[in-house]
Amino acid sequence: MVDYKQVLRLRAEGVSQRGIADVLGCSRNTVAAVFAAANSAGVGFGEVADLAADEVRHLLLPEPAAPDSDRVAPDFERVHRELAHPSDLKPVYTAPSPAAAWTEFETFDEKWGGKYPAISGLWRNAWEQFIPFLDYDVEIRKVLCSTNAIESLNARFRRAVNARGHFPTEQAAIKCLYLVVRSLDPKGTGRTRWAMRWKPALNAFAVTFADRMPANHDN
């Protein structure tokens, strides 16, 4: 478990987020979260120097209040983790036709419907809205369903913004985000790899949206 008090101490000493993560053996995301919690609470190391580590953690990350009801809240994190398994829903998203997709969904429902009937009900109620998605090429569907690259970039944006705290102008903020994007491939060595990875999707977009896509070039 990360010692929040030590994070604030190192921050006060001018150690960078990367340095703090290396010293404490945690991720920079964790350090950034502690920074954000401290900023939100308006505290620094000076305010918590005399507190115990557990007290600092409780100050920055209070325990949630006990619910008034005797009902136990669902473990949504576990539900998401189980349902996100690629082998469960991927056949539905990649099916060649609505009929094939429905068959795959029934297989999914047999596995999860009894445990999470509400989720199966949502799928059934929204099936007519889902069908048009199957009209797209499989490569386009992969792009629409895969958000890992976007989430990774957003995480980098958040870390950069949190590290600087504030910006004097909007242009300064835009420049910061631009430099984050450039830092992903500073030498340009990844462009060929990325181009090959995106080529099937770009070709599919060019066919499906020929009136919107610019002329397709091999470079």
What is the 3-class SS of 85-122, one letter each residue? CHHHHHHHHCCCCHHHHHHHHHHHHHHHCCCCHHHHHH
Q: Are 31 and 84 in contact (CB under 8 A)?
A: no
At 175, list the tokens.
Answer: 């420049």
Looking at residue 87, what is its pLDDT?
A: 63
Q: Is the pTM of this model over 0.85?
A: no
Mean pLDDT, residues 4-21 taken together = 86
Rounded Cα–Cα distance for residues 24 and 17 (Å): 11
Rounded Cα–Cα distance for residues 151 and 16 (Å): 23
How confident is the model over 20-69, as pLDDT tens digits? 887 777 788 888 888 888 887 787 888 778 778 877 887 777 654 444 54
Domain ranges across the chain: 4-60, 76-135, 148-208
